[in-house]
Amino acid sequence: MEGVTSARSTPPFHLRNPNSSDDHHSHRLRRRDREPKTAANTQPYDDDDGNVKVDHGGGATSGSTARRHRGRPPGSKNKPKPPIIITRESPSALRSHVLEIASGSDIMDAVATFARRRQRGVCIMSGSGAVTNVTLRQPGAPPGVINLHGRFEILSLSGAFFPAPSPPGATGLTLYMAGGQGQVVGGDVVGELVASGTVIVIAATFSNATYEFLPFVEEEEPSTAAGQLRQNPRGNRDASMPSVLPHGG
């Protein structure tokens, strides 16, 4: 028909396609505007180097899991522990000593007096200096005891001293020394050991020494011991005597 212009008219609202791209895009924009915005996370935390940092990133939505930060929270650093102070020394502790013995003094008597006054055992580890007029016991020598006159340099000095009461033979010194012509002689010191000049003795002291008699003798049951005595002949008196007699017996 002439005079009628054909134009594309917009369909009514109830005839529009809800799945069109324009309507879907506008629907997403309106939904995003209605979503609540979460505040930024400004909680401080410690990183691996111990520095305090603040996270200014955007927070996660209510449906997502919160991000876990690495490092320790503030104030959780290891606190220094107080030092351990020992206020009482153990009675069995080993103490080291450097003993300086004056010239002309008896080394045997000086160390024995030191052990008696301190009420501690003394272990002689070494000594240096010179001695004079020494008497030594040498089991291999024919007389058993030799007297040496003159001045001798100490090569080795060892021994032990205990405060009374102590078992016999536990106290004494073993000395090795060199003479003026290079001869070396040694043995157990008998009597005085006079210092010729200053003598330095390295020693260690201890307490609560325990005396052990070796070898250990296993205790037999009374019934077994009685049976062995009945088996011995009556006239054999030596079989029932102990193998070791006490001193002075």
pLDDT at 54: 53
Structural domain contains residue 156 = yes
pLDDT at 240: 40
Regions of the chain short of the pLDDT cut 50 = 1-4, 6-7, 39-40, 59-60, 63, 225-249
Structural domain contains residue 154 = yes
Please give the Cα distance from 108 to 94 (Å, whole number).
21
CB 136 within 8 A of CB 168: no
Please give the Cα distance from 175 to 128 (Å, whole number).
11
DSSP 5-49: ----PPPPGGGS-TTSHHHHHHHHHHHHHHSPPPPP---EEE-TT
pTM over 0.75, yes/no: no
- Give the count of domains, the chain: 1
Structural domain contains residue 59 = no
pLDDT at 51: 57
pLDDT in tens, 234-248: 444 444 434 433 333
Q: What residue numbers bound the domain in which 141 lies?
A: 95-206
pLDDT in tens, 174-225: 999 999 888 999 999 999 999 999 999 999 999 888 888 888 887 655 555 4
Structural domain contains residue 218 = no
Please give the Cα distance from 194 to 92 (Å, whole number).
32
Tell me, what CATH number does 170's domain have? Answer: 3.30.1330.80
Structural domain contains residue 118 = yes
Please give the Cα distance from 123 to 203 (Å, whole number).
5
